Structure 1
Amino acid sequence: MMKAKWFWVFPLMLMLASANALANKVSGIRVWAGPENTRLVLDLSSAADYSYFNLSNPHRLVLDLSNTQVQVDLAKVSLSGNLVKKLRPSTPKAKQDYRLVIELGQSVKPVVFPLKPTGSYGHRLVIDLPDKKGEQRVAQEQQQVAKTQSTQQLTGDRDIVIAIDPGHGGEDPGAIGPKRTYEKGITLAISKRVVRLLNQEPGLKGVLTRTGDYYVNLNRRSQIARKHRADFLVSVHADGFSTPQPRGASVWVVSAGRAKSEVGRHIEDHEVQSELLGGVGEVMGSVGGDAHLNFALVDMQKDYSMNTAYSAATEILRELGKVAHLHKKKPEHASLAVLKSPDIPSVLVEAGFITNPGEEKNLRDGNYQERIAKAIVAGIKQHYRRQPPAGTLYAMRHAERKHTVQRGESLSVLAQRYKVSVAGLKRANNLSSDSLRIGQVLVIPSS
């Protein structure tokens, strides 16, 4: 009888052990809170078999995971933002399943979708929770912006709005340095400094496309800039490369085709990878991006945007060269989604290569971040002093002055008269020498 009993018990133990080994495992849970949306991400050992439903009084989202074990201490999961109040387990429908209860501060219509393995991530299950209160708050802020700008438009002294876009964020860390420095943190730190400096300059106003550690997909970044009625967009990055040797800051503008340089192609590929890491249903740039750009190129607004972007990129690059080593001394071209907005001139600033040990050390330093930020702002100011949009305070204060050269006048005499530098006069007029001719018309830069 004992032998017969063990004959049945041993196979049963094997079956249970096998089922336990085959169970899906949740090894991590992360919460990212943005102004209009909170995202939960579950790391799984295999594709999730799941279902979910909402409950009210109080508001809860219940997620059922079939044949799953959770290896995470829910009490230790960091809950950023105000939407997600608590994570806790509950009794599942079957013993081998797991039920996760997400306690919420308001009712939501969740968007739940799986992501296949990519980059450093395995299988993930993403839960997006739209924040109605956050959406209303953002809408009110944008209405106030529009009202203020409309008033300024009437008086002809509106601010030039510069959207600063910190690359990556949330699930997408960007490039990672030798000391595990995440690009997403460096870009946000530099971007916040840029906005602070812009807002100290009368006639300029800086706004951020993301204000914290959460992901914003590439299409959405331009949309945020557009809602703020931005005149210009600067996307800030600190990219990496497959080897540690490349170094130096660079500035990129849009190209109709693929980048010609190896670094440019790497940056393009990295942008596509970022969309996959960030967790979106489609990858901007792989489908339809070129058609959008081709359509935009025939539009006069796009021509203006591209010319403005290149002019500003040149000024920013010149200023960056004063504080950092340059990877290239001229703006480079790449087919990047964040640069393709037809109505907003856009540039991408690479503050350095985070995969280079020396530059990673610099990029982690607050003083160096401040110098990079000041260089970006100085380039923007120089561009708009030379080409201020009509109806702006900059146009009123920095309207282009012209002078017709008379007999006996020299660059040094004119520089002293208009309280500008000889170098500034030469740069504003693309002069390669100090020689002037009678009747020559010079542009007088702002002091």
Structure 2
Amino acid sequence: MMMTLSGTAWAANQLKSVRVWPSPDSTRIVFDMAEQPSYSHFSLTNPNRLVIDLKSTATKIDFSSIKADGKLVTKVRTSSAPEKGTLRVVLELTRPVKPVLFPLSPTKPYGNRLVIDAFDTREPAKAVTAEEKAGKNRDIIIAVDAGHGGEDPGSIGPGKRYEKKITLEVSKRLARYIDSQKGMKAIMVRTGDYYLHPNKRSDVAREKQADLLISIHADAFTSPKPRGGSVWVLSMRRANSEIGRWMEQTERHSELLGGAAEVIENTNSEKFVARALLDMSMDRSMVESQAVAERVVKEMTKVTKMHKRKPVAASLAVLKSPDIPSILVEIGFISNPTEAKLLSTASHQDKLARAIFRGTADYFKAVPPSGTYFAAQSAERHTVKSGESLSVIASRYNVSVRDLKNTNNLKSDVVRIGQVLKIPSGS
């Protein structure tokens, strides 16, 4: 450390602070610099380390105070420099990582930065397959995405209220409401204070075979006057551009189309069939997105002022997957002093989360995906009237008497007036 301090007088740059953002499958380390950094790096094994050399750089940081106890990076320290004027920083690792380093220009509230992303090289967790998702009476899976995070604070409102913190709190509350509903399951896209690229967010939803992606954000404007919530869906123009991009990536056809890709694999018509299937998937998901958005707007109107009283279509990065129904919910304007204060309260966060949940649950109860618990509960029912028998009822709904008896656990053909019978699904 003395060597580092002795170079302060002639160093052209300064390492002002180090921030560590661990996430489930990577860790981001940010070096805050006085000037644009000049750097190089290399990896070492036995033990695993990542070494970063900062040219013409000095620092006054006490590295012993830096907390780095994540799953990948356990310690950040300095080491002997290879040459005078170079600051060598060492990241101690639990296992080998794939490092990605890049500088960032000043953007409020930050100045010059060097970003180090250390990605886990182990095999990722197995994604949910279409076959697993198609299980009988399965849960409806909702991917809940808390906007921004880590190095990306989002908008910063009066009183240093950070969008990334508010969106995470509302998302956690929304996930709890979803999990409390029998037949629904929440997947948190971001579980802590770390950065995820917008592309990765929709990828997580796809890996988990989500039925819907809900991304939570807080709006901001140059003027403090605007306030109120809004709900956004993918624009048709963005959807078409994404479909076109996917068509050039044939290796992703299987991922995007599931079992259908196996049928059309290695045929001259693959690209045309894939396009048709993706178009149908896009049409379905965009209709669903709009329907969910309308119900969420309706419920949010009951608990908060709305800036937009109808869903709005936009080309937003997190809504880039036309194969997955997706909505982006702006819960209010963090740039409005009154609303920023309100958004920071637990009671208002809970009201917003409950409203978003109600709108979502109402939609899926009305239009449940096949094979889900909701679908089984919404099966058509018939109340037995005078003069009706099992055979008469079976004939009316075009089902067999045997299926009707099995569905209702009947031991005989005898039914009573007023008895409610569940009609077999798929009839």
Is the counterpart of residue 253 in structure 1 residue 233 in structure 2?
Answer: yes
Match of 1:117 in 2: 106
Match of 1:186 in 2: 166
Distance 2:242 2:63 in 1: 40
Distance 2:15 2:292 in 1: 48
Match of 2:194 in 1: 214
- CA 1:63 to 1:244, structure 2 compared with 1: closer, same or farther past 3 Å? same
The aligned runs of 1:299-318 (5 Å cut-off) are 299-318=279-298
Distance 1:240 1:290 in 2: 30
Structure 1 unaligned blocks of 5 or more = 1-16, 259-284, 404-447
Match of 2:86 in 1: 97
Is the counterpart of residue 153 in structure 1 residue 142 in structure 2?
Answer: no
Question: Once the two structures are superposed, what CA deviation does each residue of 1:99-143 show, in whole Å capped at 9, x if it has no partner?
Answer: 1121122222322222233343332211111224xx55x515x4x
Is the counterpart of residue 174 in structure 1 residue 154 in structure 2?
Answer: yes
The aligned runs of 1:299-338 (5 Å cut-off) are 299-338=279-318
Alpha-carbon offset, residue 340 of structure 1: 2.1
Question: Once the two structures are superposed, what CA deviation does each residue of 1:126-167 show, in whole Å capped at 9, x if it has no partner?
Answer: 1111224xx55x515x4xx54xx846734x211111101100
The aligned runs of 1:415-434 (5 Å cut-off) are none
Match of 1:371 in 2: 351
Match of 2:76 in 1: 87
Match of 1:24 in 2: 13
Match of 2:120 in 1: 131
Distance 2:183 2:142 in 1: 11
Match of 1:36 in 2: 25
What letter is aligned with 2:222?
S
Question: Once the two structures are superposed, what CA deviation does each residue of 1:27-85 show, in whole Å capped at 9, x if it has no partner?
Answer: 12111111100111111122222122222222222211111012322122232523222
What letter is aligned with 2:125?
A
Query: How high is the TM-score relative to the length of structure 1?
Result: 0.73
* Aligned counterpart for 2:50 among listed residues 42, 49, 61: 61
Is contact 2:146–2:164 with CA below 8 Å preserved after alignment? yes
Is the counterpart of residue 76 in structure 1 residue 39 in structure 2?
Answer: no
Question: Once the two structures are superposed, what CA deviation does each residue of 1:425-444 show, in whole Å capped at 9, x if it has no partner?
Answer: xxxxxxxxxxxxxxxxxxxx
Is contact 2:224–2:337 with CA below 8 Å preserved after alignment? yes
Is contact 1:388–1:399 with CA below 8 Å preserved after alignment? no
Distance 1:112 1:234 in 2: 30
Alpha-carbon offset, residue 401 of structure 1: 7.2
What letter is aligned with 1:107?
P
Q: CA RMSD in A?
A: 2.7
Is contact 2:139–2:373 with CA below 8 Å preserved after alignment? yes
- CA 1:290 to 1:175, structure 2 compared with 1: closer, same or farther past 3 Å? farther
- CA 1:402 to 1:382, structure 2 compared with 1: closer, same or farther past 3 Å? farther
Distance 2:174 2:336 in 1: 23
Is contact 1:256–1:290 with CA below 8 Å preserved after alignment? no
Percent of pairs with identical residues: 46
Distance 2:194 2:7 in 1: 39
Matched residues, number: 350
Distance 1:46 1:183 in 2: 27
- CA 1:93 to 1:35, structure 2 compared with 1: closer, same or farther past 3 Å? same
Question: Once the two structures are superposed, what CA deviation does each residue of 1:246-274 show, in whole Å capped at 9, x if it has no partner?
Answer: 1111111112459xxxxxxxxxxxxxxxx
Distance 1:402 1:299 in 2: 38
Alpha-carbon offset, residue 290 of structure 1: 9.2
What letter is aligned with 2:149?
G
Alpha-carbon offset, residue 373 of structure 1: 0.7
Distance 1:386 1:227 in 2: 26
Distance 1:123 1:289 in 2: 33
Distance 1:39 1:371 in 2: 33
Match of 2:363 in 1: 383
Structure 2 unaligned blocks of 5 or more = 1-5, 249-274, 384-427
Distance 1:304 1:199 in 2: 25
Is contact 1:385–1:394 with CA below 8 Å preserved after alignment? yes
Match of 2:210 in 1: 230
What letter is aligned with 1:168?
H
